[in-house]
A and B are shown apart, each in its own frame.
Chain A
Amino acid sequence: MYETTYHRATSVSDAVAKLGASDDAKVLAGGQTLLPTMKQRLAAPSDVIDVTHIADMKGITETAGGLRIGAATTHAEVAGSEIVKRMLPGLATLAGHIGDPHVRHMGTIGGSLANNDPAADYPSAALALGATIHTNSRQIPAEDFFTGMFETALEDGEIVTAVEFPKAGACAYAKYPNPASRYAMAGVFVAKTDGGVRVAVTGAGQGGVFRHAGLEDALAQNFSADAIAGVTTDPDQLLSDIHGSADYRANLITVMAKRAVAACA
């Protein structure tokens, strides 16, 4: 790791100020992505601004339309939350299967969304449930937030403060883990929302998380695993690597979608 200066922010505005005070500062949340990257000398921020002690950015609360999760809330807190388990059980299951216990007790939802790893789990839930990403300066619909692999709509110096999830009729997540990293090779989040059935796929797409129109249409007609057994995905849009070809991932999308639908019942 290169030398860096650690700062602990006390409030969102303090964090924004500290971020702005240096050219090369980065937000540090759970550090589960940023720190390994720094240790491998692939990132070298001059300053890191720790946001995990900002009270406003932590915790899970029920709102009129759904629930709000502070950006610095850990995966373990989401997985164990009675509110999340009751309102969005698929989201609790998702959080409970990220990485290992160490990762879940350090990593945060805000860090995961800001990082937008194409194999991360949370982006699929945010997109399928139609979440809204709150930042220090605005609110961004999930639809507009994820702009490509490791890319988001966040501006330089912009901090995710919370994520708001609307209620859903039913929702579930089925993940096929990469055998080595156990990130998603194909993770499918299925949600019955006020706006209809929404299906988002992570781990498989070349451009990161995406909504799957074919699956959504079929499920809108008939919300059952059988209804989507024949739905395919164009492998040209999918990732291919030593762990699985695009064909294999296309197959996994259908299989995981079936399992998620079955879990919604």
Chain B
Amino acid sequence: MTGSAEGIGARVTRREDKRFITGKGRYTDDMAVAGMCHAAFVRSPHAHAKVSSLDADAARAMPGVIAVLTGEELAADGVGNLICGWMIHSKDGTPMKMGAWRALEHETVRHVGQAVAVVVAETRAQARDAADAVVVDYEALDAVVDSLDALKPDAPQIHPEAEGNLIYDWEIGDEAATEAAFASAAHVTKMEIRNNRLVPNPMEPRAALAHYEEADEHYTLWTTSQNPHVARLVLSAFYNIAPEHKLRVIAPDVGGGFGSKIYIYPEEMVCLWASKKTGVPVKWTSDRTEAFLTDAHGRDHHSEAEVALDADNKIVGLRVKTVANLGAYMSLFSSSVPTYLYATLLSGQYDIPAIHCNVKTVYTNTTPVDAYRGAGRPEATYLLERLMETTAREIGMDPAEFRRKNFIRSFPHQTPVIMCYDAGDYDASLDAALKAIDYDGFAARKAEAARRGKLRGIGLSCYIEACGIAPSQAVGSLGAGVGLWESAEVRVNPVGTIEVLTGSHSHGQGHETTFAQLVAERLGVGLDTVSIVHGDTDKVQFGMGTYGSRSGAVGMSAISKALDKVEAKAKKLAAHLMEASEGDITLEGGTFKVAGTDKELPFFQVALAAYTAHNMPEGMEPGLKEGAFYDPTNFTFPAGTYVCEVEVDPETGKTEVVDFVAADDFGTIINPMIVEGQVHGGLTQGIGQALLENAAYDADGQLLSASYMDYTMPRADDVPSYRLMTTVTECPGNPLGMKGCGEAGAIGSPPAVINAITDAIGTNALEMPATPANVWRALKSAQPAQAAE
């Protein structure tokens, strides 16, 4: 490493922000090609119905209409069904029961908003007018929306493939050992816990522009994707759209994803097919209502959890039963979320000798559910951290001390649920957070709030997550259909400027800045000589994309490996040019030097020499360009402690988050400013889940919160000014020591908020979201009980 003022650890302002802040970002909807037409989808108003007939004659005759295409035609053309790419087996060994998901459904619709036909017309308005004119007759069927109801014997059957709506009945851990632990326990705490369903709501809605060029039999798809190569692979290998070399997928600027833009959806696929079918380029941009109804939702668990303690208050066992709602169809990675991304984190930061978890996933007549910021890990953390807090209260022990008593302190630590934690210092983050919040002074703050008529409460959450998703062999053995390495290519141009091609994709994370900082650090060149290229399958050879906080730990590790190779070759060439021995060459501040002499060559001259190739060492190829694939050996394990203080207005039930301290261990930090931004966003999403957000369905499967009039997104005045700090243990598993920071805030914060509220109101009977009405009701129902005591 040569060091640089713009290198690792520098608070460099984001290079991409000039274009975003000045409105010059280039998003999919900004793209246009000559002759472009527009798609509008005809969607089911029913949650569950048979399609008895579809009459598009009137629509086809409307102005500007090029075609109205249906599911029958799609099937006849051999376009494949949508798939879930992660195989999970039930505990009896049977594979998960995947129901058929057609991009346009012509027989049975299974959620409100499911597409049954598409109109292509010259303008967007004409397409929508014609979509309204398509007459579809439905025969309504009974719907079921709640996952527990879906498992009842008389529940409506949703897919013929999945009897009783059960997709799989899976388990992890040692059931007998866990049972034995409970049998010998001195104390057991048991809870029912619900994790509310969320709608991801990225600022930019999904969009696609599909262009089929007949002469070359070639497709180009501009789309809102977090992983364009995976999109191409799936579109090609499973949906038979086109072979990979005939399909270019471009994900230009993407305005947020949070997981929802990982998956392949019906609309993008239909645009490709429709472009070939009609011979015109086809664009579709989701409106907000479509986003609410069709973007994959997140969370939605019902769980029973119990923890067993010995007489010394050490945890001896944990038992969890979860029912997870996957909605009407299995989205691309949906099966992995409530299993390997959830139950494997149930050990938290604690040394728990025996854990058993059973997970049933079910179909319901709701929007499909898949990974959403944190994906499984927020559900695990919420369950465990509410259980920890509740247990501490039951046994009359300080919640911080109860956690501390059970912390893991030696690493590596093998949990009973697959994960092997590589490094961490949980005392350090707990200590830092308690000090920052002034834990000991809480009683005085509570008393002062009481004088103002407010109920003050404090709540903790000690979270852990598995990030940097992850070692290909490991995920392969667990059922993943893909490997989860990352690739990079470093191209040094003849003038010494550098292009880094990465398989990671930036949709808000700031890769154009942080990835360039790594190059600046390593080669000692200025940030302005480095550009980051991503999001185009014609430019970048292959990549797995961005999710699971993997772009630093995995994507940057691949860049680092490619930089190793560039540096090695450049040193060899520099040694040759300066007639020195390779071992004496150092790279400092962008200049190659020969140790112990005053000979030096700037980086750009060595680059030029590599391209003029007039004077190369024996056998060295011209050029300076190297690629690398990086496959980690383990997940990474960011962890930390969050402490939240709230004040509840007992008259209205309104909660104000008055203080929030986050002490995170993300390992090495490339750009503290960007990391803080990631944490701010994550915390705000977590507070949103805890206090505000809820995808509420009525019994017929209509989404009641299908617009911002009813779905409460967190706003600036809902959140406090966060107080952030980091403690660092480097990750031993990757060359940079990075763990990842993209999801921590959303994972760790909900239980801290709810623990604080339940502390304030003196009752634990509270579910998310803790809206004013819900808190008021909890307070009210607790009052008679208190009076009776």
Contacts and interface: CB of A to CB of B under 8 A. Distances in A.
Interface string B682-724: 0000000000101010000000110011111100000000000
Nearest to B708: A180
B77 interface: no
Nearest to B711: A180
Given A2-B129, A242-B696, A180 B710 contact: yes
B652 A242 contact: no
B710 A1 contact: no
Contact of B692 (A2, A41, A176, A179): A179
A248 B776 contact: yes
B634 interface: no
B772 interface: yes
B705 A242 contact: yes
A245 interface: yes
B757 to A, nearest CB: 15
A252 B713 CA distance: 22
Contacts of A255: 651-652
Interface in A162-181: 176, 179-181
A41 B696 CA distance: 23
A40 interface: yes
A245 B773 contact: yes
A244 interface: yes
Contacts of B777: 245, 248
B710 A243 contact: yes
B132 A243 contact: no
A135 interface: no
Interface centre among A180, A181, A255 (most CB of B within 10 A): A180
A176 B773 CA distance: 11
Contacts of A181: 708-710
B773 A243 contact: yes
Interface in A222-262: 242-245, 248, 251-252, 255
A197 B12 CA distance: 61
A208 B631 CA distance: 62
B44 interface: no
Interface string A28-43: 0000000000001100
B135 interface: no
Interface in B248-304: 289
Contacts of B708: 180-181
Nearest to B709: A181
Contacts of B652: 176, 251-252, 255
Nearest to A255: B651
A243 B771 contact: yes
B128 interface: yes
B443 interface: no
A176 B776 CA distance: 14
A244 B712 CA distance: 13
B627 to A, nearest CB: 48
Given A242-B696, A242-B704, A242-B705, A180 B712 contact: yes
B422 to A, nearest CB: 41
Contact of A180 (B653, B709, B776): B709
Interface centre among B128, B132, B771, B773 (most CB of A within 10 A): B773
Contact of B772 (A2, A3, A41, A179): A179
A46 B289 CA distance: 24
Given A40-B289, A252-B652, A255-B651, A1 B125 contact: yes
Nearest to A1: B125
B286 to A, nearest CB: 14
Contacts of B773: 243-245, 248
A251 B652 CA distance: 8
Contacts of B651: 251, 255
A255 B773 CA distance: 13
A248 B780 CA distance: 10
Given A248-B776, A252-B652, A179 B771 contact: yes
Interface string A1-24: 111000000000000000000000
A251 B705 contact: no
A3 B772 CA distance: 42
Contacts of A244: 771-773
Nearest to A182: B715
Nearest to A181: B709
A176 B653 CA distance: 11
Contacts of A179: 692, 712, 771-772
A90 B68 CA distance: 56
Contacts of B704: 242
A255 B650 CA distance: 10
A215 to B, nearest CB: 16
Contacts of B696: 242
A41 B128 contact: yes
Contacts of B694: 242
Contacts of A2: 125, 129
Interface string B766-779: 00000111001100
B710 A242 contact: yes
Interface centre among A41, A242, A244 (most CB of B within 10 A): A242
Interface centre among B129, B704, B710, B777 (most CB of A within 10 A): B710
Nearest to A252: B652
A81 B708 CA distance: 31
B121 to A, nearest CB: 14
B216 to A, nearest CB: 38
Interface string A124-141: 000000000000000000
B657 to A, nearest CB: 14
Interface in A57-103: none
A228 B565 CA distance: 78
Interface centre among A40, A243, A251 (most CB of B within 10 A): A243
A123 to B, nearest CB: 18
A242 B776 CA distance: 14
Interface string B656-692: 0000000000000000000000000000000000001
A41 B130 CA distance: 13
Contacts of B776: 248, 251
Nearest to B776: A248
A243 B128 CA distance: 32
Interface string B448-475: 0000000000000000000000000000
A180 B705 contact: yes
B399 to A, nearest CB: 28
Contacts of B705: 180, 242
Interface centre among B653, B694, B709 (most CB of A within 10 A): B709
A1 to B, nearest CB: 7
A41 B125 contact: no
B61 to A, nearest CB: 18
B778 to A, nearest CB: 12
A1 B124 CA distance: 10
Contacts of A242: 694, 696, 704-705, 710
Nearest to B288: A40
Contacts of A248: 653, 772-773, 776-777
Contacts of A3: 125
Interface centre among B289, B704, B712 (most CB of A within 10 A): B712
Contacts of B712: 179-180
A251 B694 CA distance: 23
A248 to B, nearest CB: 5
Nearest to B692: A179
A31 to B, nearest CB: 17
A243 B705 CA distance: 10
A40 B651 CA distance: 37
B343 to A, nearest CB: 31
Interface in B565-614: none
B337 to A, nearest CB: 25
Interface string B622-652: 0000000000000000000000000000011
In order of increasing CB-CB distance, the 3 nearest A-B pairs are A244-B773, A180-B712, A181-B709
5 contacts: A180-B709, A180-B713, A181-B709, A248-B772, A251-B652
Given A3-B125, A244-B771, A251-B652, 10 more contacts: A1-B125, A40-B289, A176-B772, A179-B712, A179-B772, A180-B708, A181-B710, A242-B705, A248-B653, A248-B773
